Structure 1
Amino acid sequence: MDVRQLEYFLAIVDRGGFHRAASALYVSQPSLSQAVRALERDLGAELFHRVGRRAVLTEAGRALIEPARAAVRSLGTARASVAAVRELREGRLDVASMPSQAVEPLTTLIRAFSGRYPGVTVAVKAVFTARDVIDAVRTGAVELGLLASAEPVPDREVTAHPLGEQRFVLVVPPGGPFAGRDSVACEELTGQRLIVGQPGTGMRAYVDALRDRGVDFTVAAETEHRVSLLPLVLAGVGLAVVTESWRETARHTGARVLDIEPATALHVALVSRRGGLSPAAAAFWSVAGEWERAEGAGRP
């Protein structure tokens, strides 16, 4: 068994089949199949059921995923350690982020990080819930994760670095309701048409809690695609309750952003696996700490 075989195995898992994995790896499909068969011989078990062109994981295959990721990550850490000697002039850092936090603070963090280490690629994986972020970090699919949750992140499964809070705001189209206002009471959302996220997200949990309190609104649209929020608002489909990470972007499109009273916020945190970080991850962690200290100094 070698790391290359494990990388091939994970590529098939992540891409959903041999053909897509071979294309992503720039190898021939026969070469990929041969490497997987050699891995299966070494392990003494089939990893995939081959059904036509489909590759379905066996129970042994599912059991291999997490250790394989850990082994590949360890090799990546070793390679990154060598790159650290070269002052991080090259390398890759995998980060999982929830959609709203990918707007901010991730944009600012990547800008600061890339300014110092322009040769290191930051690869952002899109996930939708805090649980998804924690699982991606815990299993080694990524090194770092950026999430927001109603409660502070416990340190039972991952190491967390708090990055402040993001309150909920209301995005309204030009000429929409609440003209000339900077804020709106949550009860005033009664009778409004709202654009909401899918169940399991902080944004959805917040509006569901409003409904439980008697705020009777209509769900105009439910979307997993955060990029569709502002176009839907601007098209007059409805109003959107989002975190304030969207504030500047929304204003630049011409939408109005109102604070929702009373203020309710999500806790934002950068998380990592317990144990050592690769040099790139450690550098990004340091950048996040500097950003949070600067933000904290500017808060009242």
Structure 2
Amino acid sequence: MDLRTLRYLVAVVDEGGMTQAARVLFVSQPSLSLAMRRLEDELGVRLFDRSGRGAVPTADGARLVGLARQVIAEADGARERVRQVTNLEVGRLVVATSTTLAVHPLTPLIAALRGRHPGLEVHVRDASTAAGALGMVRSGEAELGVVDVMPPDAGWGWCDLGAEEIVLVASPEFAAGLTEPVARARVAGLDLGVVPSDLDSASAAATAVASMAGRVRAQCAHRAMLWELVRDGTVATFVGRDTAKTVMPWASLRSLDPPLWRDAYLVWREQALSPAGVALVELARGRDELPSER
């Protein structure tokens, strides 16, 4: 018994006979009659009372028709859902990253994806560190990740998202006595605030920041709290330039001497991506065409 045979069965009942159903189904009447005979043989019951004109279902036939309608409806619904997912009319995409990379470069990518495919549901998971994001992608908890290190082993696909300058961010009062740029050796003598997980990355940028953080006066698990401490002039911190311009427009920014840059990569396991995942990768590869988030 297959879905086509069930459709034949329902058509015979709805059209009131083999001849009429064959015409609707665009099959020959003998082929349709043979399919119904084979279905009866397979089930071991008579499905139609053939004593009169037409095809009147028996009690067993009527019960099977009811079940067939349910199966056909569910199959058609599943087919429609697959079509919608394939065409990005609906769908769900999970991306893992750290909050340091969420504002830039991920936000404009997600905004562009949702703008083109408003039916998509996007979940961005905070993985704290690059290792955490890679782990979530490896385990299947997330489909893609945004990280500041290259994937550590084979079996990964990746796309370069470019580099963002890491700058010293402070309140205008705190920054009043700082030159532009600020020598890295000078930073070690400043009161600084950090998010501890930012220093756990294996990236060159995180290693450089850790080497400059000589006087850490505030360690905050919550980034928003750290930014408020910076606003109050209690500490300075390190933030990507594009990120700082977006979320800390009140801040004074100082480049470092020598300058410090952080690379970002979109990564995924080398296997079949969902249509939504493919769409995000395509946007990332053509990110120069995206509108600026500022």
Deviates more, 1:153-162 or 1:102-111: 153-162
Give secondary structure in 2 for the equivalent of 1:205: helix
| SS of alignment partner, residue 135 of structure 1 | helix
Please give the root-mean-square deviation of Cα atoms over the aligned residues, in Å: 2.3
Residue 178 of structure 1 deviates from its aligned partner by 4.3
Instruction: Check 1:210–1:79 CA distance in 2 against 1; reply closer, same or farther (3 A cut).
Output: farther
Cα separation, partners in 2 of 1:228 and 1:166, compared to 1, 3 Å:
same
Measure how far apart 1:185 and its partner are.
Answer: 1.3
Question: Equivalent residue for 2:273?
Answer: 277
Aligned to 1:82: 83
Is the contact made by 2:195 and 2:226 (CA closer than 8 Å) also made in structure 1?
A: no
- In the superposition, the TM-score normalised over structure 2's length comes to 0.65
CA gap 1:135/1:157 in 2 versus in 1, 3 angstroms: farther
Q: Tell me the TM-score normalized by structure 1.
A: 0.63
Alignment match, 2:257: 261
Q: For the Cα contact (< 8 Å) 2:134–2:151, is it kept in 1? A: no
Contact 1:232 1:238 in 2 (8 A): yes
Q: Deviations over 1:86-133 (max 9, x none)?
A: x21111101101111101111101111111000101101001111111
Structure 1 residue aligned with 2:208: 206
Larger Rg: 2
Distance 1:231 1:79 in 2: 49
Q: Identity across aligned pairs (percent)?
A: 30
Which of 229, 233, 238 aligns to 1:236? It is: 233
The residue type equivalent to 1:205 in the other structure is: T
Q: Give structure 2 stretches of 5+ with no counterpart.
A: 1-78
CA distance in 1 between partners of 2:188 and 2:152 (Å):
35
Q: Is the 8 A contact 1:183 1:260 kept in 2?
A: yes
Unaligned runs of 5+ in 1: 1-77, 212-216, 296-300
Give the distance between the partners of 2:187 and 2:81, measured in 1 at CA: 50
Whole-angstrom distance in 2 between the partners of 1:234 and 1:132: 29
- Quick one: structure 1 residues 186 and 282, their matched pair in 2 at CA, closer, same or farther if it must change by over 3 Å? same
1:249 paired residue number:
246
* Structure 1, 114-123 or 186-195: larger mean CA deviation: 186-195
Q: 1:169 aligns with which of 150, 167, 170?
A: 167
SS across alignment from 1:89 = coil
Contact 2:191 2:215 in 1 (8 A): yes
Displacement after TM superposition at 1:169 (Å): 0.5
Note the C-alpha offset of 1:158: 2.2
Distance 1:187 1:275, change over 3 A: same
Deviation for aligned residue 1:276? 0.8
